[in-house]
Structure 1
Amino acid sequence: MRLTDLKSLNAFMTVVELGSFTQAAEKLHLTRSAVSKMVAKLEQQMGAVLLTRNTRHVTLTDEGAVFYEYSQRAVQELLTAENLLDSSSQHIRGSLRLSMPVLFGQKFIVPILKTLSEQHPELNIELSFNDRRVDLIEDNFDLAIRIGHLEDSSQLIAKKIGQHAMWLCATPHYLEQHGTPSSLTDLEQQHLIRYAKSGQMQAWQFKDPNLKTIKYRPNGNIQMDDMQAILDYTLMGGGISWLPSWLIQPYLQSGRLKHLLADHSSNDYPIQIVWKQSHFLPLRIRITIDLIAQSLQQHLTDA
């Protein structure tokens, strides 16, 4: 198939996804007749009937179903390559909406997107900082940063950009006053700072020697729903907290915090960038994904 026939293939796939020539024409900003001719041309080239049509419905034939399945990945790659060839300077414009966890986004993503904005001044970037897991389709986001394992979804694609652990920590001053715990049982005698998400207190998770997950539910009279506030309170000598490795690493290196129970290994939490499944990925989204992945992958793997 010639590259010039990609428009016909795109028209066919849009008809399949929307189930209507009329709706496909509206989405592609073409006439219904033009879309119909493109699909007919594609069927002629393939030597097979791909769609059955009646006044109400459009359905795939058996041959059409096979062709559609194998076309999805190919057309995404071909259209992206064509865009790259047509834009040797990779000059991008338009709008980009990105959702991310508050602290992680402020620490890592904002500096990266500042670089993106400087390189592409005609790109309008909208960042949303929210620890709530947004619905990319319903909330109309192009990309989202997700921490933790994802639920399976045929509508989303994810790229792992790193991982992190959760570590127990406290200040040297606090440990001088209250002692250093050597086991999970010792934590019962300590001041523990608990984290609540969406109103639910989160259990601390570790691995036993057989790599089985242990869930520890901390007791304490201090509970917060913001990790930065927990970190600040911990640095004041308020107690022991369970925080992301990427957040406390600088304080461990400076000696302001100590890593506790290091022999109790943590579960690893993947950090991923997620976008909507589509047979065409706009250049502005592809460039953003690549920039974020390249900037963070090595750093987060080491954290």
Structure 2
Amino acid sequence: MQPWDGIEEFIATAETESFSRAATRLGVSTSHISREVARLEDRLSVRLLYRTTRRVSLTDAGRLFLERCRRLVEEREEMFAAVSEQDGAARGHLRLTCSIAYGERFIVPLVNRFLADHPQMSVSIDLTNRVVDLVGEGFDLAVRIGASLGDSRLIAVRLAQRERYLCAAPAYLAAHGVPAGLDDLARHACLLGTAEFWQFQAGGRLVEFKPRGSWRCNSGFAVLDAARQGLGLCQLPDFYVEPDLASGALVSLLEPHRPPAEGIWAVYPHRRHLSPKVARLVDYLKAHVGQA
């Protein structure tokens, strides 16, 4: 038995709170994870995890052991990286996540161009609109929009920003009138997407409006099409609507109340040694996201 046996299995189980999710993360069987963690507990003569049919959780000893194991693994990875990446080249496999529409439109094409110049790298991209636990699910990098970190294990680098526009088609406005202020929104048909609230500025502060309407879809492009057809008002990010605003197919409304720009962030787990593959890609995105 080697000194490291069970350590990575224990960390993965503790961070995912599941033997099966830990197995998926490490690419092994659930029985392997359970067996290695049990052997580790036997070697230590202490219980590290509480087990139930639904989840596992840390004991007090397990919580203390987890923090020390994380430091050991980070130091080990830093040592390996310092030796194998001393030429500064980006190499190895990178796991990236981003929201679906923004990822498809901007991030994936940029990553593809980056990979063309870094043939020693491979990548897995998970496009999802849920907030991924980067540490727990083993991701190297996320691109997020307007979200607060709320996690001391993460670092965020600002890449660019985006605007949000309230807009409607000229035909809709001709039939229903142009809203003169935020109080007018309640009498208009609103096209509902994934956002529960629309945000605006008023009196130097951020205010929220809960849109109501008879049309809803979880696709921004579908919301855009409905707005083009004159079905109601929508609030969408700039990359959806700017071509239609420029052509006159849509009209921007309540400009003095447009909400503050949202930041676009590269987010990655905190490590003292940032690997070249992550550092190079973050630098590339920072240079090109705002131009996409």
TM-score (norm 1): 0.67
Q: Does structure 2 conserve the Cα–Cα contact (< 8 Å) formed by 1:162 and 1:272? A: yes
Q: Does structure 2 conserve the Cα–Cα contact (< 8 Å) formed by 1:137 and 1:276? A: yes
Q: Return the alpha-carbon distance in structure 1 between the equivalents of residues 232 and 219 of structure 2.
A: 16
Q: Return the alpha-carbon distance in structure 1 between the equivalents of residues 168 and 80 of structure 2.
A: 52
Q: Does structure 2 conserve the Cα–Cα contact (< 8 Å) formed by 1:148 and 1:271? A: yes
| Paired position in structure 1 for 2:230 | 237
Q: Return the alpha-carbon distance in structure 2 between the equivalents of residues 161 and 86 of structure 1.
A: 26
| Paired position in structure 2 for 1:275 | 268
Q: Return the alpha-carbon distance in structure 2 between the equivalents of residues 181 and 160 of structure 1.
A: 34
Q: Return the alpha-carbon distance in structure 2 between the equivalents of residues 126 and 86 of structure 1.
A: 24
Could you give the per-residue CA deviations for residues 63-118 of structure 1, whole angstroms, max 9, x where no partner exists?
xxxxx9xxx9xx98x9989877625xx3x332111100111111111111111121
| Paired position in structure 2 for 1:97 | 95
Q: Return the alpha-carbon distance in structure 2 between the equivalents of residues 237 and 136 of structure 1.
A: 40
CA separation of 1:178/1:283 partners in 2, compared to 1, >3 Å: closer, same or farther? same
CA separation of 1:224/1:205 partners in 2, compared to 1, >3 Å: closer, same or farther? same
| Paired position in structure 1 for 2:244 | 251
Q: Return the alpha-carbon distance in structure 1 between the equivalents of residues 224 and 130 of structure 2.
A: 20
Matching of residues 25-44 of structure 1 within 5 Å: none
Q: Does structure 2 conserve the Cα–Cα contact (< 8 Å) formed by 1:162 and 1:299? A: no
| Paired position in structure 2 for 1:186 | 184
Which segment drifts farther, 145-154 or 274-283? 145-154
TM-score (norm 2): 0.69
Q: Return the alpha-carbon distance in structure 2 between the equivalents of residues 138 and 159 of structure 1.
A: 20
| Paired position in structure 1 for 2:200 | 206
1:86 counterpart letter in structure 2: D
CA separation of 1:96/1:260 partners in 2, compared to 1, >3 Å: closer, same or farther? same
| Paired position in structure 1 for 2:257 | 264
| Paired position in structure 1 for 2:35 | none
Tell me how far 1:247 sits from its aligned partner. 2.2
1:151 to 125, 149, 159: 149
Please give the root-mean-square deviation of Cα atoms over the aligned residues, in Å: 3.0
4+ residue runs over 3 A deviation = 21-24, 78-85
Partner secondary structure for residue 184 of structure 2: helix
Q: Does structure 1 conserve the Cα–Cα contact (< 8 Å) formed by 2:166 and 2:258? A: no
| Paired position in structure 2 for 1:132 | 130
CA separation of 1:293/1:131 partners in 2, compared to 1, >3 Å: closer, same or farther? same
Q: Does structure 1 conserve the Cα–Cα contact (< 8 Å) formed by 2:168 and 2:234? A: yes
Tell me how far 1:166 sits from its aligned partner. 1.9
Identity within the alignment, %: 29
CA separation of 1:169/1:83 partners in 2, compared to 1, >3 Å: closer, same or farther? farther
Partner secondary structure for residue 151 of structure 1: coil
Tell me how far 1:23 sits from its aligned partner. 3.8
Q: Does structure 2 conserve the Cα–Cα contact (< 8 Å) formed by 1:148 and 1:269? A: yes
Partner secondary structure for residue 98 of structure 1: strand
Tell me how far 1:283 sits from its aligned partner. 1.2
Q: Return the alpha-carbon distance in structure 1 between the equivalents of residues 99 and 192 of structure 2.
A: 19
CA separation of 1:82/1:289 partners in 2, compared to 1, >3 Å: closer, same or farther? farther
Q: Does structure 1 conserve the Cα–Cα contact (< 8 Å) formed by 2:161 and 2:261? A: yes
Tell me how far 1:267 sits from its aligned partner. 2.9
Q: Does structure 2 conserve the Cα–Cα contact (< 8 Å) formed by 1:169 and 1:259? A: yes
Q: Return the alpha-carbon distance in structure 2 between the equivalents of residues 93 and 270 of structure 1.
A: 28
The answer for unaligned runs of 5 or more in structure 1 is 1-20, 28-54, 57-67
Bigger radius of gyration among the two: 1
